[in-house]
Amino acid sequence: MKATAKLFQISVAILYRWRKRPTLERTVVRQCRRKLNPEALRQPVWDYPEARLQGRAKQFGVYPSAIGYAFKRHRMTVKKQFRSRQRDHQQRQVFLARLRQFLLQWGRTAIIYLDESGFELAYPTRFACSARGQPVYGKRSSQRRSQQNLIAARTPQAF
């Protein structure tokens, strides 16, 4: 046995296992039945895209990692794009038109770039789940509560 194993560069244990088998045909490994039905998993994703993995796992009676693996297997991804509830496309177009007029009249040197950053204590859910190729949008208020603000300004001459 050792000589055969050495000749074919396989383990001796493999040869002993092969001897016990009635035929040397290839074994067909059946895919085990999963605990998570893909259709049963998809419906809560459509209904509650912002639910956390822990909550989904508790609902199905599995670990959160099992939900993550099932998402990967069934091509569901975790993503989210935020949009402001207060955004108004028309107001933005009016602002951009006024900015163009200002630049034509006064030039680039008259502008001061101002940036405001807010640091929130409570932050909305950052991720949501959906099927691959399906976007998920979350809305959050641009009028945030309980935050610390930092404002900085810079003129173009400093660039």
Do 115 and 86 contact (CB within 8 A), yes or no?
no
Q: Where does the pLDDT of residue 115 fall: very low under 50, low under 70, confident under 90, or very high at 90 and above?
A: confident
- Over 60: is that where the pLDDT of 144 sits? no
| pLDDT digit string, tens, across residues 6-53 | 998 999 998 998 889 888 888 887 766 667 888 888 888 888 888 888
Taking alpha carbons only, the member of 150, 87, 83 closest to residue 114 is: 150
- Greater pLDDT, 144 or 105: 105
**CA dihedral of 141, 133, 57, 37, whole degrees rounded to 10:** 150
Residue 115's alpha-carbon distances to 2, 31, 74, 112, 155, in angstroms, are 75, 55, 42, 10, 12
* Residue count of the chain: 159
Other CB atoms within a 10 A radius of the CB of residue 79 amount to 15
Residue 108 corresponds to which amino acid? R
Structure confidence at residue 32 (pLDDT): 62
Residue 119 corresponds to which amino acid? F
Region 90-105: mean pLDDT is 89
Strand partners, 84: 140
- Over 60: is that where the pLDDT of 147 sits? yes
Structure confidence at residue 12 (pLDDT): 92
Region 58-85: mean pLDDT is 82
- Over 90: is that where the pLDDT of 97 sits? yes
Q: Look-up: residue for tokens 């490994």?
A: 29
Do 128 and 136 contact (CB within 8 A), yes or no?
yes
